[in-house]
Amino acid sequence: MRWYVGGLILVFAAPYVWTYYSHIHLGSFRLAWNVKEAVRLALVMWAAPVIGGIAAAMLVHGFRPRKAFAMPQRHRISLFLRGALSAIVALGLTSVLLAFTPIDQYLHDGLVIAACGFIASALLVLPCRRQTPGLCATCGYDIRASLAIGRCPECGQAI
C-alpha cells in the first residue's frame, strides 16, 4: 500500500509546491503567504485527496484483496505508477468539475478534491487482479492442503 500512497503523494504534492513557491518574491525572498494560508492550502490540495485515495484503495482491497497489495515487493513500480495515475485522473476530474459545473457554489473545494481522489483511486484499483483464496500470495501454489504447516511448501512463505 505504501508504494501506491507514494505515487498519490508525489503527484498531489506537486501542484501544492508549485503554488506555494510561485508566490515567493524573487528579489526579497519573502513569502507572500502566511502560515495559516499555507496550512489551509496544504489540507485542501494535498491532504484531502490523498486521504480520499487511500480510503478508496483500502476499501476496495478490504472487500476483495488485490494481488498487487498482497505482494508489494513484486509490484512496487506498478503500484507507484497506479497511484500516480489515479492522482493525475483525480486532478483532471477536479479541474473539469470545478471549471465547468457550478458545484463549487454548493460544496467546499476540499470535499470536491477528496471525492475525486476517492473515485479515481477506486476506478484504478478495481481492475487489479484479485488474490485467489487458497493460493500462496507469493508463488500461486495451492496451499489448501498444507494450512496446518503454516508455510507454503513451494516457496516457504509464511501463510
Q: What is the pLDDT along the chain (159 residues), one digit of tens a residue?
A: 888 888 888 888 887 777 666 665 454 445 555 777 777 777 888 888 899 999 998 898 888 878 777 766 777 888 899 889 999 999 899 888 888 888 878 888 888 889 999 999 998 888 877 777 777 777 778 888 777 777 888 888 777
**Between helices 48-63 and 76-100, what is the axis angle to 10°?**
120
Instruction: Mark whether 16 and 77 lie in a shared domain.
Output: yes
Please enumerate in sequence order all residues whose Cβ is within 8 A of that of 39, keeping only pairs 6 or more positions apart, or say none.
none
Instruction: Mark whether 106 and 154 lie in a shared domain.
Output: no
Instruction: Mark whether 77 and 51 lie in a shared domain.
Output: yes
Q: Find the domain containing 157 and state its range.
A: 132-159
Instruction: Mark whether 122 and 159 lie in a shared domain.
Output: no
Instruction: Mark whether 112 and 148 lie in a shared domain.
Output: no
Number of domains in the chain: 2
Nearest residue to 39 (alpha-carbon basis) of 28, 47, 27: 47
Instruction: Mark whether 100 and 140 lie in a shared domain.
Output: no
Residue 101 CA, chain-centre distance (Å), reads 25
pLDDT on residue 41: 78
pLDDT on residue 118: 93
Instruction: Mark whether 16 and 93 lie in a shared domain.
Output: yes
52 and 114 Cβ atoms separated by less than 8 Å: yes
* Element housing 83 (H / E): helix 76-100
Instruction: Mark whether 16 and 58 lie in a shared domain.
Output: yes
**Between helices 76-100 and 109-125, what is the axis angle to 10°?**
140
Instruction: Mark whether 117 and 151 lie in a shared domain.
Output: no
Instruction: Mark whether 116 and 144 lie in a shared domain.
Output: no
Residue 114 CA, chain-centre distance (Å), reads 11
**Between helices 76-100 and 2-21, what is the axis angle to 10°?**
50
Q: Which DSSP letter does residue 128 get? A: S
Instruction: Mark whether 154 and 98 lie in a shared domain.
Output: no
Instruction: Mark whether 148 and 114 lie in a shared domain.
Output: no
Q: Which amino acid would we find at residue 83?
A: G
